[in-house]
Amino acid sequence: MTSLAPTRSAGAAPAKGAVPDLSFLLDHTSYVLRTRMTAALAEIGMTPRMHCVLVKALESERTQAQLAELGDMDKTTMVVTVDALEKAGLAERRLSPTDRRARIIAGTPKGAAMAKKSQAIVDRVHREAIDSLPESARSILVGALSSLAVGHLAMPDDTSQGVRRARQQKHERSHRAEL
């Protein structure tokens, strides 16, 4: 089942022999974690995307396109995110020394200080989620998710249709209608 509204309660174990609705469990917990992360970062005027771009930009010299790929952002979202970082004085665009068409996103000293604050918040939100579990389950959950992330679920299926976000589907339908 991959319904957003499961027929059994989220906390109940599946009936003997039934397959657990892993899609719901991962989607729901991921959604709730993202909302908590968004609220916590908003307290310092940051968003999860701003945090991601800023931290990755401070790690090493990266172009806007490289950062967009690392953060799984489309070009428009990336531009808006970098604009917000620049407006706040946390990052700046610089010309790439190797490609005049590319822009390097560089964190400012103010950005480095903000990244430390935002990383502490991200770590706190993650710690709160993990600490909500019984101690015996914590390392099991992290180990199992880590194994899936680098193993069986490391890469999406290579399908011709792929999974489309609602906005992508709407754009594709509109584009096909124009043809």
Amino acid letter, residue 150: V
Separation between Cα atoms, residue 85 and residue 51, nearest integer Å: 9
pLDDT tens column, 118-175: 999 999 999 999 999 999 999 999 999 999 999 999 998 877 555 555 555 555 555 4
Protein fold of 22-131: Arc Repressor Mutant, subunit A (1.10.10)
Mean pLDDT of the chain: 87
Predicted local distance difference test score (pLDDT) of residue 16 = 80
Can you read off the two tokens belonging to residue 25? 């469990």
pTM over 0.85: no
Per domain, the residue ranges of the chain are: 22-131
pLDDT tens column, 93-123: 999 888 889 999 999 999 999 999 999 999 9
Separation between Cα atoms, residue 62 and residue 58, nearest integer Å: 9
Residue with tokens 């970098």: 82
